[in-house]
Structure 1
Amino acid sequence: MTGGRRAAKFVTMDTMHATCVSVFGDRLSGCLLLGPSGSGKSDLAVRLIDGGGTLVADDRVIITARDGLATAAPPPLLAGLLEIRGLGVMTVPFLGEADIRLLVCLTNADDIERMAPITSQHLNGVDIPCLLVDASKASAAARVRWAVRRVLAYGTLNSVKTLVPKPAAESGPAPDNERDRSADGTECGVGVGPGPESRPESGPEDNEDRDG
């Protein structure tokens, strides 16, 4: 111990070719966008930022692993710089550091299974959930937000994999109050009597009987 402070148990640092955005604009919701040059990292970052996120680092990211948690930070010379295709390199607000909750691996949609198995990757010794995304899809940013939100809430990307139907009830006559309709289409179990057309019209004989 030095100066009354506890030293970190395990620290590693590395620089990666990637882009990092805090999806919800705070230190807790960082996602690391990974992919070859031209795969859409900066373009997806623009959409995430436009949807409420904050840039951490573009093109180069300093990754630090400490006590089982990976964080991202910008190199000093690139802090606050974001490349926007057609506009050039722009200066934008940024975070100096964010925890990496999700790895977003950019690939072609044809390579992504509809119900892809959930995987994770080791980043400087830290196990982090990984999501495959086609950055060219209109829903790409929304998928990333959904994934980060789930990791923050549950610590995992795992979800319900199968929907098991309930066993069908045994066949048999339904109780009177559960039958939906009678043979003539009127609702059952409501105390509906015969309609006016089914009542016999009273005649003179009936009136005489009542008078007598």
Structure 2
Amino acid sequence: MAELSSESILAACVAIDGRGVLIEAREDAQRVDLLLRLLDRGATLVVDPRTVCVRRGKALYATVPAGLGGKVEIRGIGPVAMPNLEEAPVALVAVVLDASPRLPEDRRTRRIAGVDVPVIALGPNEPSAPIKVEYALKALAK
């Protein structure tokens, strides 16, 4: 069976130093919270809340579905227009869980559109979460 060459996932995406980080969470508010904290640290919005991931060769790119670019819905404020990129090469998936593990059991990856992407798990209320994403991007991403 052939693997998909594209996949639409419920995840935001930001670019940090030109590399895409997909942000997944059970709750929209948790996803947007981490997204906003990363933007505050200098990341660039690609898309929220749905990302289309497209495989090109051995690389995976986060792209913006029609009509979703340039806005983030912030609770208590509503949709806010922001500058965004049309795509970014995906290097990491950040998953917001109920609590983050003290130490990862092993190096986890997620297969998206036929490409294995490193995964980091974060707790929803960690002030250091954006910094952990930046460190993971340096340590785990290709």
Instruction: Identify which of 87, 105, 109 aligns with 1:120.
Output: 109
Match of 1:23 among 7, 16, 20: 16
Give yes or no for contact 1:57–1:74 (8 Å, CA) kept in 2. Answer: yes
Q: TM-score, normalised by structure 1?
A: 0.61
Q: Give runs of ≥4 in structure 1 deviating > 6 Å.
A: none
Equivalent position to 1:80, from 66, 70, 88:
70
Q: In structure 2, what residue type is equivalent to 1:113?
A: P
1:94 and 2:81 correspond? no
Offset from partner CA, 1:172-209 (integer Å, 9 cap, x none) = xxxxxxxxxxxxxxxxxxxxxxxxxxxxxxxxxxxxxx
Q: Deviations over 1:15-40 (max 9, x none)?
A: 2111001123x2xx110011223361
**1:98-109 aligned within 5 A:** 98-109=88-99
Report the 3-state secondary structure (helix = DSSP H, G, I; strand = E; otherwise coil) of the residue aligned with 1:77.
coil
TM-score for the superposition, normalised by structure 2: 0.90
The amino acid that maps onto 1:32 is: L
In structure 2, runs of 5+ residues without a counterpart are none
Give unmatched runs, 5+ long, in structure 1.
1-9, 156-212
Superposition map of 1:7-22 within 5 A? 12-22=5-15
Q: 2:132 aligns to what SS in structure 1?
A: helix
After TM superposition, the structure 1 = structure 2 runs for residues 1-212 of structure 1, keeping only pairs within 5 Å, are: 12-24=5-17, 26=18, 29-38=19-28, 40-109=30-99, 112-116=100-104, 117-152=106-141, 155=142
- How far 1:113 sits from its partner (Å)? 2.5
Question: What's the Cα RMSD here?
Answer: 1.7
Distance in structure 2 (CA, Å) of the matches to 1:69 and 1:89: 31
Following the alignment from structure 2 to structure 1, what is the Cα–Cα distance between the partners of residues 4 and 102? 37
Give the Cα separation in 1 of the matches to 2:4 and 2:55: 5
State the structure with bigger RCO (CA 8 A, min sep 6), 1 or 2.
2
Q: Residue type of the partner of 1:92?
A: M
1:39 and 1:68 map into 2 onto residues whose CA distance is 33
Q: Secondary structure of 1:94's partner?
A: coil
* Greater gyration radius: 1
Q: Which moved more, 1:79-88 or 1:30-39?
A: 30-39
Deviation of residue 140 (structure 1)? 0.6
Given that residues 16 and 44 in structure 2 are in contact (C-alpha distance below 8 angstroms), is that contact kept between their aligned partners in structure 1? yes
